[in-house]
Amino acid sequence: MTSTQHSTRGQARRDEIVQAAIEVIAERGYRGASLAAVAEKVGLTQQGLLHYFPSKEALLIGVLTLRERWDSGGRDIIAEPMTIAAHEGVVEANSHREAIVRTFSALLGESVTEDHPAAEFFKLRYRRVREAYTASLRQEWGDRLPSGLTPEEAAPLLIAIMDGLQFQWLHEPESFDMPAAFRAFVRLLDPKAAP
């Protein structure tokens, strides 16, 4: 076996473990999640799991990183500007992946409690994403959006709407139409957007 095959298999195993962790956190939150429960889901001993992720925090970072990759449709949201239409696509896609959205929302909530291991991640993520969205909005609309807001003013609102709508949706996934609510927000940013 070549080392490339080895690492590809290792990566597949890591992905499988992260997927199991997402499910366990969606059920119990991070503080309530145990490595034993994650190990059991993938048929490993706890010792075997520690070979891939040396600590519960390392696994948490794995989960948060995977989410980031999905959220941006596989792109690097910092390097590549996203149009508002691309954001609509992300919200639409999120409405079909409840487990990861549930996990992320639970972690976001937990992260504001004392000394939470994800606190720094979310703080830095918010900074980076505000900057990236500001740049994207400026690229699409210049220094003023059609609504009159600056990109700097609109970026934190765009993030807040996405985070906030997810909670309303997670509490009523059958009846709350998250993509439609997001499109209404887009019409606030750009009154000429299609309803």
**Which residues would be at the binding site for a second copy (CB under 8 A)?**
25-29, 31-32, 102, 105-114, 119, 122-123, 126-127, 130, 147-149, 153-154, 156-157, 159-165, 167-168, 170-172, 176, 181, 184-185, 187-189, 191
**Distance of closest approach, residue 23 Cβ to a second copy, in angstroms:** 10
Q: Which residue, 19, 34, 118, 108, is CA-closest to 69?
A: 19
Between 38 and 52, CB nearer to a second copy: 38
**Distance of closest approach, residue 127 Cβ to a second copy, in angstroms:** 8
Between 80 and 177, CB nearer to a second copy: 177
Token duo for residue 106: 């639970």
**Distance of closest approach, residue 153 Cβ to a second copy, in angstroms:** 4
Say how many Å lie between the first and final Cα of the chain, rounded. Answer: 55
**C-alpha to C-alpha distance for 18 and 22, rounded to whole angstroms:** 6
**Distance of closest approach, residue 17 Cβ to a second copy, in angstroms:** 20
Between 50 and 156, CB nearer to a second copy: 156
Burial 50-66 (b: 16+ CB within 10 A, else e): bebbeebeebbebbbeb
CB 21, CB 59: distance < 8 Å:
yes
CB 48, CB 39: distance < 8 Å:
yes
Between 30 and 53, CB nearer to a second copy: 30
